[in-house]
Structure 1
Amino acid sequence: MKRKKIALAVAILSLSMLLTACGNKKDVTDYSKTENWMNLPTTTDKEVDVFYLYPTTYSPADQTNPSISTIDDAGMVQNAKIAYGRQATAFETVGNIYAPYYRQDNLSPVDREETIAGIPTTDATAAFDYYIKHYNNGRPFILVGHSQGADVMSNLLSGYLKDHPDVYKRMVVAYVIGFTVTNDYLTANPHLKFAEGPDDTGVIVSYNTEAETVLPPGNPVVTEGALVINPINWKRDETLATAAENLGSIALNRDGSAVLNAEGKIEPVMNFADAQINLAKGVLICSTANVDLLSPGSATFGKGVYHTFDYPFYYFNLRENAENRTNKYFEINGTK
């Protein structure tokens, strides 16, 4: 999957003009309707918000179905809720979570980046714009996305947040995980910067998790020049972070949902996943998981790609990091 972010600048600019103009907003989902949101907080008791975009959850029964889902596709909705449970919930102790439904691409083999820069990004940008204008009330926010959601999030960062620097300055951190962020992308978007450690704010966090060996067809979400940060030790070099240093992974059921205890809560699985950056590959290596059990391979991802586990392996590390960066943000900018 060839990354074409620079070539998408015109499309993103056109999208921004579409959403900021007073003209026709045809084919943009209406986010004033609560049914177009997977999660809206009933109370806003936290000083920070979280805006979450789920990974690819649209999988039509056959190829006669459209490559782009409807906003209420039953399969997409059900699977989006499952993804929310293993990803977005990591941040429920940190912020008020806002999670829109958005129309998705069904892994189009041709011009995928252009496709995602279309309807999926249009929806997500409209949702974020509505959130900022009607729900946010000036609070700092954290962006969280995975896979297609992270791809769309990268367009949101390079489009809407570039055009709205007053909004961008309230961004605590953007977790753009399960997708590639490169220096070329940052060069094309000099308002953005990649995380260098556990404490910096207004930055992007990104990584893609793999086993030590990956078989064909490989990992389609990793492209040349991928930037990585280790979610256990928050270093950019190849220093190993052992499984003992991990604050806690989570277990998944067969359907991808998070395993809950008798009280309906997610418990940490300790000493499970280590993490070490491979700079040459631009990926995060986990050497301690059972690859035959957790990543046997598929037509899309080769054996050894831990794409589904990008968040579950490091769930409690991401929670602690979001809390830490939030505290740092308030230390720098003061409380509300």
Structure 2
Amino acid sequence: MARKFLYVVAVLIVIAIAALFAYRLFGPELMRVALVPTARFEPAPARTMSAYADPDAWIARPDKPGNPALYLPPGVEMPAEKGDAAIFFIHPTSYLERTRWNAPLDNAEANDRAALFVRGQASAFNAAGDIWAPRYRQATFGAFLTGQEEAQQALDLAYGDVAAAFDEFLVEAGDTRPIILAGHSQGALHLTRLLREKIAGKPVAKRIVAAYVVGWPVSRTADLPALGLPECTAPDQAGCLLSWQSFAEPADPSLILDTFDASTGFNGQPREDTPIVCTNPLLGMPGDAPASANLGTLVPSADLTSGTLTPAAVPARCSDRGFLLIGDPPEMGAYVLPGNNYHVYDYSLFWANVRADAARRLDAFEGAGESSAWSRPKPPPSAPSSRKAAA
């Protein structure tokens, strides 16, 4: 499922970024020719958590100069006392080259794009606490356009970096702070594996405020039980999972559904005709909401380096199958994908609501913790670990 769905997402995003006109003429075959690596996959040593003790291994972390996760749109201010959560954010694919199966960590172009994603997406969480966003050897887009064994090897290598970064994140964040997890697209894929392998059934699961698995389909019956968190069904619920995929209307999600329905879920059961988790970020749960409930859409500038926060820009409602429908196509920029797919803007469309959602769930988590068996003392803000201080 991971490779197949990324195939669809990769085709769509590559179209939007590089060759929409060519896709309309020649289809996915042209994308394969242009983007699938021809080189052999070269196994690389696994990164250990100690590699992520180096600040340069992160796009964002609390002590990072020029931290893109601290971006605020005009008119938005950081609260006098921000939350005490530790936030782990996994950015989407930013490497487009075909010379390698995985992005080199020092690729300037990919790193610049990743910083833009962190600026526009992870920044929604910066009032809730400190944000860590690792650099990782992400699989290139072309790896998602083929069934070659190298493609899965590329995904596994990328996930290994994410897992190592998460282990270091837990050390730096300390033993008591609440945790928010978030990702988008390829980052959301790695987040589902992180939930399965590092969190579900582990003591750290009790510290999860919420997991934002955005831009990735999650089957309620074939996937969710293996992720260790329930779906968020109330706006003040903590310890739950949110997920949405944004489409304007008329929506055509057939490319995603054709692949999704032919795949097998995390629990080994077919995904065909199963409901997809749909969180309406305007509500913090499934349902329908008018545009008046939208606290602010982050409409990006042409170069994506800044944005304007516009309230009441789009409504949202969950379709019967589980896609998030946003009404008539809003003007967001050049990267709207075929089928009225607003995948690139999944966070931007609801930036202010995501910000409020994270704060609300953190408040709920801390309120529940005061009366629970695993309540925790409030840690000092931004307290560095001994390793961090030595790095």
Q: TM-score range by the shorter chain?
A: 0.7 to 0.9
Does the C-alpha gap of structure 1 residues 215 and 4 become closer, same or farther in structure 2, counting only changes over 3 Å?
Answer: closer
Note if contact 2:295-2:311 (Cα within 8 Å) is conserved in structure 1: yes
The answer on 1:249 being equivalent to 2:289 is no
CA deviation string 1:189-239 (max 9, x = no partner) = 4x32111121111111000001122458844898343211111023324x3
Q: Could you say what secondary structure the match of 1:31 adopts? A: helix
Equivalence for 2:312? 271
- 1:68 counterpart (85, 102, 110): 102
Q: Could you say what secondary structure the match of 2:128 adopts? A: coil
Unaligned runs of 5+ in 2: 6-43, 65-80, 262-273, 371-376, 379-391
Q: Identity over aligned residues, as a percent?
A: 27
- 2:62 counterpart (41, 47, 70): 41
Measure the CA separation in 2 of the matches of 1:234 and 1:249: 16
Q: Could you say what secondary structure the match of 1:41 adopts? A: coil
TM-score, length of structure 1 as denominator length: 0.80
Q: Which has the larger radius of gyration?
A: 2
Greater share of helix: 2
For residues 132-147 of structure 1, the aligned pairs below 5 Å read 132-147=170-185
- For 1:228, the aligned partner's letter is C
The answer on 1:313 being equivalent to 2:349 is yes
The answer on 1:231 being equivalent to 2:267 is no
Does the C-alpha gap of structure 1 residues 176 and 115 become closer, same or farther in structure 2, counting only changes over 3 Å?
Answer: farther
The answer on 1:158 being equivalent to 2:196 is yes
Measure the CA separation in 2 of the matches of 1:45 and 1:317: 16
Q: Could you say what secondary structure the match of 2:53 adopts? A: coil
Does the C-alpha gap of structure 1 residues 32 and 116 become closer, same or farther in structure 2, counting only changes over 3 Å?
Answer: same
Note if contact 2:185-2:215 (Cα within 8 Å) is conserved in structure 1: yes
Q: Could you say what secondary structure the match of 2:260 adopts? A: coil
Unaligned runs of 5+ in 1: 6-24, 260-266
Measure the CA separation in 2 of the matches of 1:96 and 1:146: 18
Shift of 1:71: 1.7
Measure the CA separation in 2 of the matches of 1:288 and 1:104: 34
RMSD: 2.8
Q: Could you say what secondary structure the match of 2:356 adopts? A: helix
- For 1:82, the aligned partner's letter is L
- For 1:311, the aligned partner's letter is Y
Measure the CA separation in 2 of the matches of 1:181 and 1:311: 17
Count of paired positions: 298
The answer on 1:89 being equivalent to 2:123 is yes
Shift of 1:181: 1.2
Note if contact 1:295-1:303 (Cα within 8 Å) is conserved in structure 2: no
Equivalence for 2:364? 328
TM-score, length of structure 2 as denominator length: 0.70
Which segment drifts farther, 87-96 or 25-34? 25-34
Shift of 1:135: 3.4
Equivalence for 1:208? 245
Shift of 1:296: 4.9
